Every structure is written in structure tokens, then in C-alpha cells.
Amino acid sequence: MARVGIALLAAGSSERLGSPKQLVQFEDKSLLRRAAETALESCCSPMVVVLGANQEACVAELAGLEIQIASNSDWQSGMGSSVRSGLEALLAADELAAVVFMVCDQLLVTPQILDSLVNTFEAGDHPIVASEYEGEVGVPALFALSLFPELLALKGPEGARKVIQRHRDESAIVPFPGGMVDIDTPEDLAKIVGLFARNSRQDEQDE
């Protein structure tokens, strides 16, 4: 199996939400810890978590997990700096065939979805394997070694999606129906909490 690292990008300040997104509690765990545990259950290794804003509190949320922290002091410049920080940390730790980038607020990401990115990469000849949801293509997404220079060259608000768009015709796609479920605003959070509560009540009635 190819050696595929994974970087969890969690350095932002969550201005639209009004509080640190990473620390939002959902079903007794922070979004950050939920995402990190999901990544650790996948076939991807090693794992790096990129932190920036509210780093001390975020580090506490990750206590006991077998991960490496990459501190992005330039997090305010945009997503590009986090992509670079994550990839540089992974490359310092191991020789990799590819890397997967993910974020902490896509609540429906599972280890199986992450594994499907790797399996699709190994089965074909695509430099990118991206997730697709509601007509959009994005993270979690896998990038082969050949694209590492482009990822390291990202600047400002440009994130991994920019590289996907540049190589869209060469990319493989993995369906991720729940990929649009994320948290950017208080309204998003309230909507998702309500949705999960309704689903939980429905499950109890079906038992």
C-alpha cells in the first residue's frame, strides 16, 4: 500500500462563527477531536494537525492522540499557508506517495471515506482524488507526490481547491453525499444540531 499522509487543517479563527470552530462541542466531543480521531482510524499515516489561532486550547483538545502538531504562525494570510505547513511537516516525517487534506467541520466525514480516496488513488493513475458533493469538488482530497510543488507554492487565501480546479480533468472523484454539511456560521451550527437531534429521535422510534 502506498504511504499516504494526512493533514487536518484547523488554523483559522472562525470569524463568521464568532467563536473557535475547532472547539465547538458536538455529541460530547469538540469538532477538532472528532476529526482527528476519524483521521486516525483511516489507513492514512502519519498525521499532522495544522493549528494557528487559539492554539493552546486546540492542543489541549488533542491530548493523548498520536499526531504531530504543525504550528502555522502565518495562519492569518489564508488557507495556503496551512496547506504548506501541513505538507512540510509531513514531508519532514516520512517519504510519501500522496497526502490527504481535510478540515474539522465536515461532520459526516468517516474513516471509510478517507480510505476510499486512498483506494481510488492506488487503483488508478490520477494525481488527485477529490470528494464531490452537490456538484462541488473539494476536500477531503488526496494529492499525489507530483503535485507537492504546486501545493507548497500556494499563497494567501488559495487552498487545495485551487490545485483541484487546475487539474480537474486529471482528477478522480469519490462521491461524498454529506460533504456539504459543515459549520461556518451560528445558523449552520443550529441547523446541524437540529438535524442530528431529529435523526436521533427517528432512530429511537424505529427501534
At residue 17, the pLDDT reads: 55
At residue 62, the pLDDT reads: 97
CB 150 within 8 A of CB 166: yes
Q: Which residues of the chain have pLDDT under 70?
A: 1, 13-19, 181, 183-186, 188-190, 192-207
* Average pLDDT taken over every residue of the chain: 87
Which CATH class name applies to 4-206? alpha beta
Q: Where are the domains of the chain?
A: 4-206
Residue 106: all three cell numbers together: 465536515
At residue 177, the pLDDT reads: 86
